[in-house]
Structure 1
């Protein structure tokens, strides 16, 4: 799970965090001219770059603290070998749909964080009264499965783009997206200006992808982290075409911080950045409901899967410590939002500890200790480049594809809504759009069957009532004759 620290911080930094146009350096040569929104485009403004670097450092710490606290609570209170951390999927939805790339979305960063906290409180309340699992069962099974697949495709698509990945996919004025990995790109649009597949960082990232994929295919322990470490280590070498520390003011500042190696960074800008003033707008509530939906399905299904994998379940499908585990999971989201991060979930990587014999909360507490240790290595974690993170996003997406086999593809009433859900998430770059469209198509294809079933039940009830009246009349008639 070590990869989540740098990956989550990188994705959330793409939202711009608390950084705004006010953090930009004034126009060179004319300090009286206030910078406009264009200063955030291309992330070339020195002042804005410094704010992003500070935000990323804060989010590295926030991710590690949230994972540390959540995993420790799971082990100490629920006594289960389940590790938790800010979840993939929810972080991408937060960064690219709610807040938008560098604040280009419809919800400000502080309002979005308040939405995450409120979602965590609602989730905690649902868990406390026992409605969590019942709510998950209301969603059709195939839509639940398709949502997981769609989120996987969404993450993979993110990992293939330049801003937070390999840079293999970029913008095209004719086909919208196209093959890039170019040696030169437009800093504003990201469109290729020449040298397709000539990007050195792409080929380094591709090598890391193959290394990680090979480790996963051979079931190597900790396989996900090896590709990130390899690509990052090569990118630390200055004076190369793939360095993450170019000979620029920002590159020099990054290298100076990197040389510290050990540094305990305190959160400066993301903690407590909550604003509940924007909740009068409907899009905030829609986003919060989407987060709640993803949280209910993701964490609940993962937790039950891990319990079943470890043999903790009873005959009814429940497991010991279930109630406290749900409360820990939901409560951790509230803490995560307070630190500036997104919803916390139980990680499928918990199977690694269970497979090695972990059966108690000591496993989760050990994971918590590892996250605690990572807090002292912020300079190293801050220096992980996008082309090291991208392959992990693609491979996480690949692993989420496994549930597609459980969708009932032979039944068109189930297959079509599932496909719509999966397709629209990456194609509209919105998890919410995929969920809403899938549920809408599902209702449209099933309403006639539901109406027939309801009419049949009403008709049967009326027939039963008539039969009861007739029987009562038949009994009264002979009695009067006598």
Structure 2
């Protein structure tokens, strides 16, 4: 758990004197001497972080385009790629300048899947309204970052449920990746079956064979600890598919990016489409976005900050409010540009491992995201079977959170298991969270340990229980 500073106001270095050189000014601004770092180290760390998370430029548009394509019958991949890069660059730059941490931000994996498959496709919510939910979530997150409500919510949620949610999202991502339709270039390793519900797909399908090859290639790169293994796995699988004629190669490598006119401002337009019939669903979606983003950010900041040595002896993370505010602003800006929730990336740990200790590492990442805008045609030609292996590996990494659950305690193991099981089986992160949050305080009470629960936990459980009762009484809504 992160303890928040009572005074987390931004504290920038004193502006350098006019006679000071540019590089010296930058070094002084980011406090290189205080953190015992150099330009070479910070640049290497920034490039490393970008390489480990650059797969989002291909994966996020691929996931989000499914939501828009089904409702609009239009391909907005290139605009979504631009929105992804812009939101990542802006959020990471804010983190660099306000918090001076080597943390990078981008549209979050898991949250983009929830946006597409649970909200837009599963609930049938219009994609503009879904963007509006992300926008409102970002605004609420800004407010929470300015108040003590955030820390109260953080203290109320059981640690085991947070870990189980992350693991459940990992399983959800892997399932989505493996179940992609081979007719449109998906993996097709898992298919629907009338008897067994799901079954192994047809291994004679070229996209399926390519997905298998991609999983082997990406796994080998990860096992060898190659920097940017997920990105190289995507590119290697895509190139192999192009060479074999299974997917169409790119018509161009570099092109001047076009402004995402079909996406920018659609979150604001979505607010006008909220009615009484979809108001409850809208706020339920906002809550889940807010919850997952809030705790994903806290967990990432804690994990990477510990590795970088930022956590003080009393458990306090300096400038925590600035870091959380950067995340909140990035989410709001990202929704305006047309992408799902932006969050701090755990891949930032790769740059920290290379020695990155200041916001200059993040500044390098932000620059590289902007530079990537020139390569949208290349990204657009990457087939779905090439991104599936990256989703599987991300699922593996997220599933590792289960080791932090105390499986010998029924009050932790049962709610956690139900959470991570129901998320992929119900195709909804919200349902898994609801079941976990309802069962945790109940089982604690059955154990005679009701005193170990909090009033907030019971309030959240009651809210979700009322939601399920409402759904049972209104099955068509």
Q: 1:18 to 1:71 in 2, by over 3 A?
A: farther
- 1:341-380 residue pairs with structure 2 within 5 A? 341-380=339-378
Q: Distance between the aligned counterparts of 1:402 and 1:452, measured in 2?
A: 29
Of the three residues 63, 70, 79, the one matched with 1:11 is: 63
For the pair 1:278 / 2:284, whether they are aligned, the reply is: no
In 1, distance between residues paired with 2:147 and 2:368?
33
Equivalent residue number for residue 31 of structure 1: none
1:59 pairs with one of 80, 84, 90: 80
Tell me which residue corresponds to 1:423.
Answer: 421
Structure 1 residues 453, 305: CA separation in 2 closer, same or farther (over 3 Å shift)? closer
State the Cα distance separating 1:451 from its structure 2 match. Answer: 7.7
- Separation in 2, partners of 1:128, 1:279: 30
How many positions carry a matched residue from both structures? 392
Aligned to 2:190: 169
TM-fit CA distance, 1:208? 1.8
Question: Which secondary structure does the structure 2 equivalent of 1:243 belong to?
Answer: coil
Write the mapping of 1:22-421 to structure 2, written as runs, cut at 5 A.
Answer: 48=73, 51-52=74-75, 55-100=76-121, 105-163=123-181, 165-180=186-201, 196-237=202-243, 240-244=244-248, 258-259=251-252, 261-274=254-267, 275-276=270-271, 277-278=273-274, 280=276, 281-421=279-419
**CA distance, structure 2, for counterparts of residue 221 and residue 451 of structure 1:** 47
The match for 1:447 is: 445
Tell me which residue corresponds to 1:44.
Answer: none
Query: By how many angstroms is 1:202 displaced?
Result: 1.7
Q: Report the more deviating stretch, 314-323 or 285-294.
A: 314-323
C-alpha RMSD of the superposition? 1.8
- Counterparts of 1:201 and 1:290 in 2: how far apart (Å)? 34
Three-state SS of the structure 2 residue aligned to 1:99 is: helix
Q: Distance in 1 between matches of 2:151 and 2:358?
A: 23
Once the 2 structures are TM-superposed, how far is the Cα of residue 77 of structure 1 from its aligned partner?
A: 1.3
Indicate the larger mover: 171-180 or 277-286. Answer: 277-286
Q: CA deviation at 1:363?
A: 0.3
C-alpha contact 1:414 1:442 (8 A) present in aligned 2:
yes
Give the 3 Å change call, closer, same or farther, for CA 223–107 of structure 1 in structure 2. same
Name the SS for the 1:171 alignment partner.
Answer: strand
C-alpha contact (below 8 Å) 1:17/1:109 kept by paired residues: no
| Aligned residues of 2:331 and 2:342 also touching (Cα < 8 A) | yes
- More relative contact order, 1 or 2 (CA 8 Å, 6+ apart): 2
Counterpart contact for 1:232–1:388, Cα < 8 Å: yes
Show CA shifts across 1:351-397 (max 9, x none): 11111110000000001111011001110011110000111111100
TM-fit CA distance, 1:205 = 2.0
Please state whether the residue corresponding to 1:178 is helix, strand or coil. Answer: strand
Shift of 1:244: 3.0
Contact 2:88 2:366 in 1 (8 A): yes
Tell whether the 8 Å contact from 2:441 to 2:450 is kept in structure 1 after alignment.
no
C-alpha separation in 2, matches of 1:17 and 1:341: 14
Q: Judge conservation of contact 2:91–2:106 (CA < 8 Å) in 1.
A: yes
Going from structure 1 to structure 2, the CA distance change for 1:416 and 1:448 (only over 3 Å counts) comes to closer
Q: Deviations over 1:190-249 (max 9, x none)?
A: xxxxxx210112222222211211121221111111111111112334xx451236xxxx
2:92 and 2:112 map into 1 onto residues whose CA distance is: 18
Give the gaps of 5 or more residues in structure 2. 1-52, 453-477
How far the C-alpha of 1:19 sits from its partner, in A, is: 4.5
Where does structure 1 differ by over 4 angstroms across 4 or more consecutive aligned residues? 448-454
Matches of 2:351 and 2:127, distance apart in 1? 35
Instruction: Please report the TM-score for the alignment, with normalisation by the length of structure 1.
Output: 0.78
In the superposition, the TM-score normalised over structure 2's length comes to 0.79
Write the deviation string for residues 430-476 of structure 1: whole angstroms up to 9, x where unpaired: 1001000111121321234568649xxxxxxxxxxxxxxxxxxxxxx
CA distance in 2, matches of 1:138, 1:391: 36
Gaps of 5+ in 1: 21-47, 181-195, 246-254, 455-482
Flag the 1:302–1:271 CA change in 2: closer, same or farther, 3 A. same
